[in-house]
Amino acid sequence: LNILFLSQIEPPERWLPGLRAALPADRFFTLDAYDPAQIDIALVACPKPGILGALPRLQLVQSMFMGVDPLLADARFPRTVMLARLIDTGMVNAMGETAIAHILDWHRHHYAYRQDKLARRWNRLGQHLPSDRMIGILGMGELGTSVSQRLLALGFGVCGWSRRPRQVPGVQGFHGDAGLQALLAQSDALVCLLPLTAQTRGVMNAANLARMKPGGCIINLARGAHAVVPDVLAALDSGRLAHAYLDVFEVEPLPQDSPLWAHPGVTITPHAAAITEPRTAIQRIAANIELFRAGKPLPNLVDFGAGY
């Protein structure tokens, strides 16, 4: 198979030695030298818009990221070609660590103690048990399900929201619009792990934040457009929300003049919740390509109709 490595941000030298070792029978090309007419598979991470449509023999696009919304936003993306998401254990574990770090920061009041330290204020806050807290997870896919199991292991209550009904052990499941309202009404904290689609854009808005239990937090680890920033800031200023942990933003890097930078109620991380990890991802990519070579069905293909 002829495989084109297409990325404007991932350096080929970080990936190609491992890929060549894992798939010794295949030929890898980069943008420096390739024949568009010969490419069977494209490995992509933020490719130049339009480039995939110019590969006539292309049969499989393998994303090097878990989220594919930027690919689907390209009107010239060839929708007759299979698009496989990357499900990478290294990334799934990293996301679990990030979600737990933020939940514990909020649960143990560390976000407040950081402010107290700046003010030289000794102010011990009340203790909650994890079982006092209900964590609502928006998006119960690969990432949301994994995070739910880590939270349950720590003793937190967990409820989850998906598009279709979904049973996950220990998690109270909700789906659809009515399900979202029911989940919000009992959630102290929200962890957003949704794909960005027309239906999920702006889900953390004033009306939905107002339905959460007061004094909680939101943790957006999915896409910036899931949170309506003025609504989040208003909920923080009114005390409705105690803290917002934001990893993703509509414009990245977050512009210098964003009010989020200076707000004491906001923790910012630079889209670093879970970073693609070649050491674990290459095995998964190679396994997918072997399934493709054998003509077997591939897991984690994107449903173009659903948008994820």
Does 281 engage in binding with ligand NAP (CB under 6 A)? no
Secondary structure element (H or E) that encloses residue 122, with its range: none
Segment interacting with ligand NAP (CB under 6 A) among 6-14, 36-44, 138-146, 183-191: 138-146
Amino acid identity of residue 122, one-letter, is W
Q: Which parts of 15-54 interact with ligand NAP (CB under 6 A)?
A: none
Selecting among 107, 109, 223, 284, the annotated active-site residue is 223
Angle among Cα 232, 142, 231 to the nearest 5 degrees reads: 5
Query: Which position among 102, 109, 133, 223 is part of the footprint of ligand NAP (CB under 6 A)?
Result: 223
In the bound state, the residue with its beta carbon closest to ligand NAP is: 141
Whether 271 is catalytic is yes
Segment interacting with ligand NAP (CB under 6 A) among 7-15, 136-144, 208-216, 257-265: 136-144
Selecting among 20, 150, 175, 271, the annotated active-site residue is 271
Neighbours of 133 (CB within 10 A): 21
Amino acid identity of residue 273, one-letter, is A
Does 227 engage in binding with ligand NAP (CB under 6 A)? no
Whether 20 is catalytic is no
Question: How would you label 138-163 residue by residue, b for 16+ Cβ within 10 Å and e otherwise?
Answer: bbbbbbbbbbbebbbeeebbbbbbbb
Does 166 engage in binding with ligand NAP (CB under 6 A)? yes
Query: Which position among 67, 157, 173, 265 is part of the footprint of ligand NAP (CB under 6 A)?
Result: 67
Output the CA–CA distances (angstroms, integers) from residue 26 to 74, 190, 293, in the order listed: 28, 44, 11
Question: How would you label 73-109 residue by residue, b for 16+ Cβ within 10 Å and e otherwise?
Answer: eeeebeeeebbbbbbbebbbebbbebbbebbebbbeb
What distance in Å separates the CA atoms of residue 3 and residue 110, rounded to the nearest whole number? 47
Does 66 engage in binding with ligand NAP (CB under 6 A)? yes
Q: Which parts of 173-212 interact with ligand NAP (CB under 6 A)?
A: 193-197, 199-200
Secondary structure element (H or E) that encloses residue 254, with its range: none
Query: Which position among 271, 283, 286, 293 is part of the footprint of ligand NAP (CB under 6 A)?
Result: 271
Neighbours of 275 (CB within 10 A): 12
**Which residues of the shown chain bind ligand NAP in the complex (CB under 6 A)?**
66-67, 91, 139-144, 161-164, 166, 193-197, 199-200, 221-223, 247-248, 271, 273-274, 308
Which residues carry out catalysis? 223, 271
